[in-house]
Amino acid sequence: MSRLIVAFDPEEEPLEYWIRLGGELCGEVWGVKVGLPFLLRYGLGSLAELREACGRSVIADLKLADIGPVMLSSVSALRGLVEAVIAHAFVGYAGAIEGLRKGLEEMGVKLVLVASMSHKGSEEVIDPSLERVLEVIRRAEPWGIVAPATRPSVIAEIRRRGFPQKILSPGVGAQGAPPGSALRAGADYEIVGRYITRSRDPAATARAINLEHERLLGSLGGAR
Ligand code: BMP
């Protein structure tokens, strides 16, 4: 099973470009992550096309940060189109994540919460509050947690605290973290965007990352 989630963040390409790429990468990835750049350009109908091209998990990276009913209203538009939705945890549990969690459960969609981000600015506000953010995550019991490959110590800290969730880690490739480094720190999946999608041969690049993952996980001796 691949530990790779490819991020589709379009610039000016037509949708057909991404649908074709989805088909090419399908055998190499666990899932495809799309965010606002994709959804605003191509609309919700594009998700059905993406799923048709590749039956892997589609993750809607909406980075929701609102009151519960409004977040739920956003995600209910995605019913039947995605396997998972990403929201921020810093908004807190009561009146926010609590409602989102219940609604997603009813929809059969996985919740993924952001613990910390990969860019430098995450150290300004989010990371000093990591303790509290993780407390929200503990209460919410999401399926997955986003933690940065660019600061593997954060991934290791979440693992050390015994969170059983899947850890999804962005920041590999274009943002500087080497492929495999997040898995080594304790992540379950590495989210990779431009390093794959902007490479000359995206499928070959994804294959090379998978090989690195297999080598690494093999060396960890089946501990993961
Ligand atoms: P890239 O590999 O091209 O840098 O893309 C990273 C992807 O991960 C983007 O889709 C971005 O929205 C997402 N991401 C991130 O870079 N840092 C985070 O902390 C959380 C993210 O979801």
pLDDT band at residue 222 using 50, 70 and 90 as cut-offs: low
What's the pLDDT score for residue 66? 98
pLDDT tens per residue, range 55-78: 999 999 999 999 999 999 999 999
pLDDT tens per residue, range 93-103: 999 999 999 99
Closest CA to 45 of 71, 77, 22: 77
Closest CA to 102 of 72, 144, 145: 72
| pTM given for the model | 0.97
* The CA-based dihedral angle spanning residues 125, 75, 86, 123, taken in that order and rounded to the nearest 10 degrees: -10
Reduce the DSSP state of residue 223 to 3 states and report it: coil
Give the separation between CA 202 and CA 127, rounded to whole angstroms: 33
For this structure, is 120 an active site residue? Answer: no
Over residues 204-214, the mean pLDDT reads 98
- State the alpha helices, DSSP H only, in the chain: 15-25, 36-42, 45-53, 68-76, 98-107, 130-140, 152-160, 181-185, 194-197, 202-219
Q: Which residues line ligand 1 (CB under 6 A)?
A: 7, 9, 33, 35, 61, 117-118, 146, 148, 170-171, 173-175, 191-195
pLDDT band at residue 187 using 50, 70 and 90 as cut-offs: very high
The token pair that represents 44 in the structure block: 């919700």
* 28 beta partners: none
Cβ atoms of residues 217 and 187 within 8 Å: no
Per-residue pLDDT for 223 more than 80? Answer: no
